[in-house]
Chain A
Amino acid sequence: EVQLVESGGGIVQPGGSLRLSCAASGFTFSSYWMHWVRQAPGKGLVWVSRIDTDVTQTNYADSVKGRFTISRDNAKNTLYLQMNNLRAEDTAVYYCVRGLWGCDYWGQGILVTVSS
Chain B
Amino acid sequence: DIQMTQSPSSLSASVGDRVTITCRASQGIRNDLGWYQQKPGKAPKRLIYVASSLQSGVPSRFSGSGSGTEFTLTISTLQPEDFATYYCLQHNSYPWTFGQGTKVEIK
Quote the shortest CB–CB distance from A52 to chain B (angstroms): 12
Interface size band for A: 20 to 34
Tell me the interface secondary structure of chain A in the complex: strand
CB distance from A87 to the nearest CB of B (A): 18
A102-B34, A106-B44 known; A47+B49 contact, CB < 8 A: no
Q: When the two chains form their complex, are residues A103 and B43 in contact, meaning their CB atoms are under 8 A apart?
A: no
Contact of B49 among A60, A95, A104 (CB under 8 A): A104
Nearest Cβ distance between residue B32 and chain A, in whole angstroms? 7
Point out the residues of chain A lying under 8 angstroms from B33, CB to CB. 102
Contact A59 B91 (CB under 8 A): no
Q: Does A61 contact B (CB under 8 A)?
A: yes
Given A44-B87, A102-B49, A95:B43 Cβ within 8 A: yes
CB distance from A33 to the nearest CB of B (A): 10
Contact between A101 and B87, CB atoms less than 8 A apart = no
Chain B: residues with CB nearer than 8 A to chain A? 1, 32-34, 36, 38, 43-46, 49-50, 53, 55, 87, 89, 91, 94-101
Task: Give me the interface of A with B, judged by CB distance under 8 Å.
Answer: 35, 44-47, 50, 59-62, 95, 99, 101-104, 106-109
